[in-house]
Chains A and B, each alone.
Chain A
Amino acid sequence: MSDTAAQGTGRRAWYEPDAKLKRRHAADRRLRAYGVAAILFALAMLMTLVGTILVTAAPAVTQTMVTLEVEVPEGAVNPSDPRGGSYQKILNESVARLFPEVDTPRELRELRQLFSNGGQYALRDKVVADTSLIGRTFDITFPLSDIGDQLHKGVIGRDLPSDQRRVSDEQIGWYDRLVEQGRISAPLNWGLIFNADSRFPELAGLWGALVGSFYALLICFLVSFPVGIAAAVYLEEFAPKNRFTDLIEVNINNLAAVPSIVFGLLGLAVFLNFFGMPRSAPIVGGLVLSLMTLPTIIIATRAALKAVPPSIREAAIGVGASRMQTVGHHVLPLAMPGILTGTIIGLAQALGETAPLLLIGMNAFITAAPDSMFNPSTALPTQIYIWADSPERGFTSRTSAAIIVLLGFLVCMNAIAIYMRKRFERRWS
């Protein structure tokens, strides 16, 4: 009744929205739509990125292996020095026995191209481990070469005309015979993790890079964690507030924004040229990375120290604790979760950092994992860089697989950071 009366007189009831209110709500809805659209776009990009990497990396999950029957004649290997045997010749002979009709040198060379160069070392290692095998015939399993591997995985198309593919028709025929004889298998590619780098994709692995990255991060942590905490505690709890400390603070914040390649140049000039430290070594890599991680840790630690309520400091000082005791017994333990989170995030950044490592030579081609942090080595991101640069087909999928390994480590480290933050977060009144 009153409604109609209000409408009748042309006046709106108080609860009826006017045009302005409608516009305000429309603006709200638009903003929300923009937000959702932005997130969906970002998610789509991420999925595309990760999806592409996963699809590219899929072939590297398995490695095509061949099982051959080899006979190691008594005279071919000296039992007292089994390393010196001519294993390539033994392998060639057993291959020739499998394909007796192949006799021209050109054909023989093509036939051998199907098998990995690593076969002789697999055979050698087997004989060295068990010298009683000399004079006997036994089976040995080793990788097919890159072209065999690609053929097995269908990366090299058989339908292409033979002058456009890297495998000849004969090679395809020999490969098919090997398949018929049940000599081809494709187990999980553990070599990708546990082998060191190699020129041959079927033999190349990440072990050297993993060990190198581990040493570099260890150095980085050992240097930047104590130094960073000490610097942050001093600046936050002890330093007088004056122009000099302001200057230091501004510079630390600027350091966090310095491009990483500049740190690489610094490392090259200072650690390698001035101090004469070994080139390509994880210790130098770790030191350079710690320069980069320091500002992150200092900033995170200062934020964590600031977040500790002043009432805790007052309480400690009030019962007669010295400033050092106040910091050591109360403030630092309460700030530790934040500090550790910042540290892990800083280390995760360092793990993925490439540019400074390139400058100090950690992108060298090194076929053995480093024994210590003073030996030349690569790191995960530089290994990816090297592989991405290599022309062989097999490296395409291995590069992506290496990226996944790197991403896996990063995700793990961030997960640990989140877990620690949740687990050790303390509440105080």
Chain B
Amino acid sequence: MTTLDTTEASGMIMNKTAEEAGALAKAVSTAKAGHETKIAASKVSVFYGDKQALFDVSIDIPARQVMAFIGPSGCGKSTFLRCINRMNDTIDNCSVKGTIEIDGANIYDPKIDPVLLRARVGMVFQKPNPFPKSIYDNIAYGPRIHGVAKAGSAMDEIVERSLQRAALWNEVKDRLDQPGTGLSGGQQQRLCIARAIAVNPDIILMDEPCSALDPIATAKVEELIDELRAQYTIVIVTHSMQQAARVSQKAAFFHLGNLIEVDETDKMFTNPSDQRTQDYITGRFG
């Protein structure tokens, strides 16, 4: 009986501190940038079998901004990104601890259906991965399975709007029936962005979206990210410091599975508060 009480008590204390910390961070970020918190992660740890890949990451991600995750390879930034739409569920021996709240709802709550979650949290992958179907079907697939629109003019409209938002409409409007795999790499990646937009998400996760693209295609995708920021909360993992500096408003530095520092991008790149961040940004390791 006594033991139980103690555990409960300590649990409550922990919860309370976490809540307070969250509230504080929220207040700070709202005060600073005028954006409310969209994603609030608290003490997220990820294990692959026995191996822990992420240690107690707590971070608030503001709405309608671009948040960049930077850090050396294997630091856990992609792992954390994939926690946000529960993509890690598909990996057999992967387990996630802690909570991630989107608009106040914990996405690891058993009540939450990952299928619905992924409709709200779109994802763009490192390598462009269009379905080996027509451009039209690539976009229409998501809305179709979610029942947003059946075939016909409603679907045509969604396809056109998504492609326009992804700045691809003018390039492909005459060949919507041709395979998406026939496009160039940069076009394929924008097609994937359009596919993510088509299900009308709030958040778009991007896992090194430009690492397989040439500089011109990269510039186009970066421009697109900047435009999308007006409507979507974007989280981007990138290896390129310059890209983080160009597209993001806030940046988070990960190192060896720990979140080291979260700050305004400008500040982090000019005056980081942690020595490890300083070393990474100036190229001493990574």
Contact = CB atoms under 8 A, between A and B. Distances in A.
A424 to B, nearest CB: 12
Interface in B170-226: 181, 185, 188, 192, 195-196, 198-199
Contacts of A317: 87, 90, 118
A309 B126 CA distance: 14
Interface in A47-90: none
Interface stretch (A193-201, A208-216, A269-277, A318-326): A318-326
B132 interface: yes
Interface residues on B, range: 20 to 34
Contacts of A330: 131
A314 B129 contact: yes
Given A317-B118, A320-B142, 17 more contacts: A240-B92, A309-B129, A313-B90, A314-B87, A315-B129, A316-B131, A318-B87, A318-B125, A319-B142, A319-B196, A319-B199, A320-B115, A329-B145, A429-B128, A429-B129, A429-B181, A429-B185
Given A428-B132, A429-B188, A318 B85 contact: yes
Nearest to B85: A318
B97 interface: no
B229 interface: no
B146 interface: yes
A322 B125 contact: no
B130 A322 contact: no
B123 interface: yes
B123 A318 contact: yes
A311 B145 contact: no
B119 interface: yes
A241 interface: yes
Contacts of B119: 319-320
A317 to B, nearest CB: 6
B122 interface: yes
20 contacts: A311-B127, A312-B129, A314-B129, A315-B130, A315-B192, A317-B87, A318-B85, A318-B122, A319-B119, A319-B122, A319-B142, A319-B195, A320-B146, A325-B145, A329-B141, A330-B131, A428-B181, A429-B128, A429-B129, A429-B130
Contact of B181 (A240, A316, A325, A427): A427
A315 B129 CA distance: 6
B4 interface: no
4 pairs of A and B residues whose beta carbons are closest in the complex: A311-B129, A319-B142, A320-B119, A320-B118
A370 to B, nearest CB: 44
Contacts of B130: 315, 429
Interface in B138-158: 141-142, 145-146
A423 interface: no
B171 to A, nearest CB: 17
A360 interface: no
B31 interface: no
Nearest to B198: A319
Contacts of A327: none
B131 A321 contact: no
Contacts of B92: 240-241
A167 interface: no
Contacts of A321: 115, 141, 145
A428 B132 CA distance: 6
Contacts of A309: 129
Interface of B: 85, 87, 90, 92, 115-119, 122-123, 125, 127-132, 141-142, 145-146, 181, 185, 188, 192, 195-196, 198-199
A334 interface: yes
A240 B92 CA distance: 7
Nearest to A322: B115
Contacts of B116: 320
Nearest to A319: B142
Contacts of A313: 90
Contacts of A314: 87, 90, 123, 125, 129
A429 B87 CA distance: 22
A90 to B, nearest CB: 71
A23 interface: no
A309 B181 CA distance: 14
Nearest to A313: B90
Interface in A321-377: 321-322, 325, 329-330, 334
A426 interface: yes
Contact of A315 (B125, B185, B199): B125
Contacts of A325: 145
A219 B117 CA distance: 44
A240 B93 CA distance: 9
Given A319-B195, A320-B142, A426 B85 contact: no
A52 to B, nearest CB: 48
A313 B90 CA distance: 10
Contacts of A427: 132, 181
A344 B169 CA distance: 43
A32 B194 CA distance: 54
A334 B196 contact: no
B196 A318 contact: yes
B118 A318 contact: yes
A322 B142 CA distance: 11
A325 B192 CA distance: 18
Nearest to A323: B90
A320 B199 contact: yes
Interface string A301-313: 0000000010111
A214 B56 CA distance: 64
Name which of A309, A320, A427 has the most chain B CB atoms within 10 A of its CB. Answer: A320
A315 B132 contact: no
A312 B138 CA distance: 11
Name which of B118, B123, B127, B132 has the most chain A CB atoms within 10 A of its CB. Answer: B132
Contacts of B127: 311, 429
Nearest to A318: B123
B131 A312 contact: yes
A322 B89 CA distance: 12
Contacts of B145: 319-321, 325, 329
